[in-house]
Amino acid sequence: MAKGLLEGKRGIIFGALNNQSIAWHVAEKAHEHGAKFVLTNAPIAMRMGEINELASKTGSKIIPADATSVEDLEKLISQSMEILGGKIDFILHSIGMSVNVRKGNHYTSENYDYTMKGLDVSALSFHKVMQTAMKLDAMNEWGSIVALSYIAAQRVFPDYNDMADNKAYLESIARSFGYHYGVQKKVRVNTISQSPTMTTAGSGVKGFSEFISFSEKMSPLGNADAESCADYCVTLFSDLTRYVTMQNLFHDGGFSNTGVTTEVIEKFSN
């Protein structure tokens, strides 16, 4: 496989919590492809300590930042430019959290304080990251910003709860900010709509392991795993995709365009 696609590029990677995290795989792949980057996560996630292992493996510095705090983001982005020695070429936003899901509140019985918190963490933080980067003039031209999404933004998956609304908002921010960042700085902004993947965030969703099996059977290529998602992120950070922007890109083994599969039909035959 080609290597060195990110040679000379500088990045910021949000959301590597443990070795299951999609962001963890992205950091490993970006390192293999020659990128230098800063790892960041919420201060509370630092307590787990696993991110230190990733940092030493990839020769990266860690800067804690709550992605909902503009003050934290300003420090993160300006310190990253100092550490990496210049402007940033790519940012991965791999952050999601619903308090309603965590507390087991049904979609029709939301606690709206929890809803607002989840929306801030999972979607508005993407706007905050980009607005802060733009104000600090932190991105190089033709830079690339990617956030991770899920198909519940377009179609109903009942137990995905208010995360569905958060993802719809996230994808809309990618389009709207992508327009302005493109015009002002030639920076591209996309979301990747990933297959269900067994991670800490994913497994918080009710019935998740059954759902992963269903999705596997509903995808002609099977579910895309975290490592393949990381490969796709690398292509989007690379110079090979310079005119891809404002898109929601499905990385799901064909799930999104499949009505039903023979395997699923066979489950219903007597």
Ligand X SMILES: NC(=O)c1ccc[n+]([C@@H]2O[C@H](COP(=O)([O-])OP(=O)(O)OC[C@H]3O[C@@H](n4cnc5c(N)ncnc54)[C@H](O)[C@@H]3O)[C@@H](O)[C@H]2O)c1
Q: Does 194 bind ligand X (CB under 6 A)?
A: yes
Give the largest Cα separation in the chain, rounded: 65
Q: Residues 36-73, buried b or exposed e (16+ Cβ, 10 A)?
A: bbbbbbbeebeeeebbeebbeebebeebbbbbbbeebb
Of 38, 168, 166, the C-alpha closest to 92 is: 38
Q: Does 84 bind ligand X (CB under 6 A)?
A: no
The rounded distance, in Å, linking the Cα atoms of 129 and 143 is 14
Q: Which stretch binds ligand X (CB under 6 A): 11-19, 84-92, 132-140, 238-246?
A: 11-19
The residue within the footprint of ligand X, chosen from 58, 60, 80, 94 (CB under 6 A), is 94
The residue within the footprint of ligand X, chosen from 42, 77, 92, 224 (CB under 6 A), is 42
Q: Does 148 bind ligand X (CB under 6 A)?
A: yes
Q: By C-beta, is 211 or 261 nearer to ligand X?
A: 211
Q: By C-beta, is 78 or 200 nearer to ligand X?
A: 200
Angle, nearest 10°, between helix axes 50-58 and 22-32?
10
Q: Which stretch binds ligand X (CB under 6 A): 14-22, 103-111, 242-250, 258-266?
A: 14-22
Residues in contact with 136: Cβ distance below 8 Å, sequence separation at least 6, in sequence order: 74, 77, 78, 81
The residue within the footprint of ligand X, chosen from 35, 39, 67, 123 (CB under 6 A), is 67
Footprint on this chain of ligand X (rule: CB under 6 A): 14-15, 17, 21-23, 41-42, 45, 66-68, 94-97, 121, 148-150, 194, 196-197, 199-202
